[in-house]
A and B are shown apart, each in its own frame.
Chain A
Amino acid sequence: MNSSVIVFPGSNCDRDIAVALEKLKFKNKMIWHKETILPKSDLIVLPGGFSYGDYLRSGAIAAKSNILKEVVKAANKGCLILGICNGFQILTETGLLKGALLQNKNLKFLGKDVFVKAVNTDNKFCNKYRKNQILKLNIAHNEGNYFTNAEHLKELEERNLIAFKYCSEDGVVNEENNPNGSLNNIAGIFNEKKNILGMMPHPERMVDPIITNDNGVNLFTSLLN
Chain B
Amino acid sequence: MKLILVKLDQLNLKRDNLKFSVTVTLKKDVLDPQGKVVHQTLENMGINSITNLRQGKYFEIDKNENNEPKAKEKLNEVCKKLLVNMTIEDFKIFRLDK
Contacts and interface: CB of A to CB of B under 8 A. Distances in A.
Interface of A: 56-57, 60, 64, 92-93, 98-100, 102-103, 105-107, 147-149, 181
A56 B33 contact: no
B87 A149 contact: yes
Nearest to A105: B33
B37 interface: yes
B23 to A, nearest CB: 14
A187 B22 CA distance: 33
A57 B56 CA distance: 12
* Majority SS at the chain A contact face: loop
Contact of A105 (B26, B31, B83, B87): B31
Contacts of A181: 31
Contacts of B33: 103, 105-107
Contacts, number: 31
A64 B83 CA distance: 12
Contacts of B88: 100, 102, 147
Nearest to B83: A56
A98 B83 CA distance: 18
A102 B31 contact: yes
A181 B32 CA distance: 12
Smallest CB-CB A-B distances: 8 pairs: A100-B87, A100-B88, A107-B33, A100-B85, A57-B85, A105-B33, A147-B88, A147-B30
B66 interface: no
Contact of B34 (A98, A99, A103, A148): A103
Contacts of B26: 102
Interface residues of B, number: 11
Given A98-B87, A148-B87, A56 B37 contact: no
Q: Which of A64, A100, A105 has the most CB of B within 10 A?
A: A100
Contacts of A92: 87
A23 B89 CA distance: 41
A57 B30 CA distance: 15
21 contacts: A56-B82, A56-B83, A57-B85, A92-B87, A98-B87, A99-B87, A100-B87, A100-B88, A102-B26, A102-B30, A102-B88, A103-B33, A103-B34, A105-B31, A106-B33, A107-B33, A107-B37, A147-B88, A148-B87, A149-B87, A181-B31
A60 B85 contact: yes
Nearest to A99: B87
Nearest to A64: B82
Given A60-B82, A64-B82, A147 B87 contact: yes
